[in-house]
Amino acid sequence: MPAVGFYARTRGWSFVIAWMHRISGIILIFYVLIHIYTLSFLITPEVFDAKMKMFGFFLFIFLEWLLAAPVIFHALNGGRLILYEIFGTRNEGTLLQWMFSLSVVYVLLQALMMIMGNQTVSPILFWLVVFIFSACVLILVASRIWRIEGDLVWKLQRITGAFLLIMIPAHLMFMHLQPAIGHQANVVIARMQNIFIKFVDLILVISVLLHAGYGLISISKDYFKYRFVQNGLSLLIVLIMVVFGWIGIKIIIISYS
């Protein structure tokens, strides 16, 4: 905390927020990689269920809830950055206020869902709505960004970011509507039989890994001066993302049809 005050005083709040964005991004990467790894146990539902048991412990429920914070912060701040950089919305003050207020609301809502734990919703309908909204945001950002000269992958990161802006918070919210939705193998498997859900998951995993991969490469380029180190690290990151991408896709396509 004193560090936050220090940087706010010497570099400004935006600087602190940029660090928070970076840290939350890295937390999310770790989470996603572990997440995909655990999801891969869906092939043997017993093992998956056994593993998921631990999420019954209070500490883990608490941690799951805490996850909402980096997710919503990164999402909303990412959205703000896209507005700042690409849509010329430079009145930071108001945006930051909105961002923090919405974050708090979201995290509290998440807690409410977890405590009640008895919401039901049609997965198809839910994801149809979320997907349509996300696609709209994607198109909005993509059409704007496409005309800009510059690096394709950089643009893709912004576009995927825009797509995930609603997708990821919605995903998290969805999984907390009822404990079973996210933690019981049979429920998950049953849902994933639907081709539309498969499609949504596929797009989700690809865009997350693309976005995260570029994020990591971008961070490494800030810190490593030599080209060969940069290239080596980029290669490594791409490799990791491809491997996890493969695992993720396997879960969706191959396992149950």
Partner 1 sequence: MNKQQSYNLTLKIRRFDPDSKRSWIQDYHVEAGRILRFVDLFRKINDEQDPNLAWSSSCEHGQCGSCSVKVNGKPLLACELLVENAVQYFKTITFQIEPLNVAPVVRDLVVDISTAYERIDQIKPYIIHPAPPPTENNEYPITPHELERYVNATRCINCFCCSSACISSHKTFLGPNAMLATIIRVMDPREQEKDQRLKILYSENGIYRCHSSRACSFVCPKEIDVAHFIAVAKEGRITEQE
Interaction site with partner 1 (CB under 8 A): 6-7, 9-12, 14-15, 17-19, 21-22, 81, 84-88, 90, 92, 147-151, 154, 218, 221-225
Residue 237 found at the interface with ligand HEM (CB under 6 A): no
Category of 181 on φ-ψ map: left (φ > 0), alpha (ψ -120 to 50) or beta: alpha
CB of 208 to ligand HEM, least distance (A): 4
In Å, how far from its chain's centre is CA 208?
A: 6
- Rule CB under 6 A: which of 85-144 touch ligand HEM? none
Q: Provide the minimum distance between the beta carbon of 204 and ligand HEM in the complex, in angstroms, as a whole number.
A: 5
At closest approach, how far in Å is the CB of 214 from partner 1? 10
One-letter amino acid for residue 4 of the chain:
V
Looking only at residues 12 through 41 of this chain, which bind ligand HEM when binding is defined by CB under 6 A? 21-22, 25-26, 28-29, 31-32, 35-36, 39
148 binds, among ligand HEM, partner 1, none (CB under 5 to 8 A by kind): partner 1
**Contact 60/54 with Cβ under 8 angstroms?**
yes
What does each C-alpha distance from 154 to 113, 134, 166, 217 come to in angstroms?
36, 19, 20, 11
Distance CA(241)–CA(219), nearest Å, equals: 15
Q: x/- contact string, 185-224, with ligand HEM (CB under 6 A)?
A: ---x--xx----x---x--xx--x--xx--xx-xx-----
- Structure tokens, 97: 């206020």
CA end-to-end span of the chain, whole Å?
Answer: 51
> Shortest distance, CB of residue 232 to ligand HEM, whole angstroms?
19
Contact 164, 76 (CB under 8 A): no
The site partner of 39 among partner 1, ligand HEM, none (C-beta below 5 to 8 Å per kind) is ligand HEM
- Contact pick of 17, 48, 74, 138 for ligand HEM (by CB under 6 A): 74
Q: Write each residue from 149 to 168 as x if it is in contact with ligand HEM (CB under 6 A), else as -, in one continuous string.
A: ---------x--x--xx--x
| Per-residue DSSP letter, 98 | H
Binding region for ligand HEM (CB under 6 A) out of 64-72, 99-107, 139-147, 231-239:
64-72
Query: CA 186 to CA 237: how far, in whole Å?
Result: 33
Q: How many residues bind ligand HEM (CB under 6 A)?
A: 46
Residue type for 56, please? G
75 binds ligand HEM (CB under 6 A): yes
Q: Fill in the amino acid letter for 60.
A: F
Quick one: DSSP state of residue 257?
Answer: -
Give the torsion sign (CA, 232, 82, 168, 134): negative
How far is the C-alpha of 53 from the C-alpha of 183, rounded, in Å? 8
> Which of residues 47 and 81 has its CB atom nearest to ligand HEM in the complex?
81
78 binds ligand HEM (CB under 6 A): yes
Residue closer to partner 1 (CB basis): 53 or 221: 221
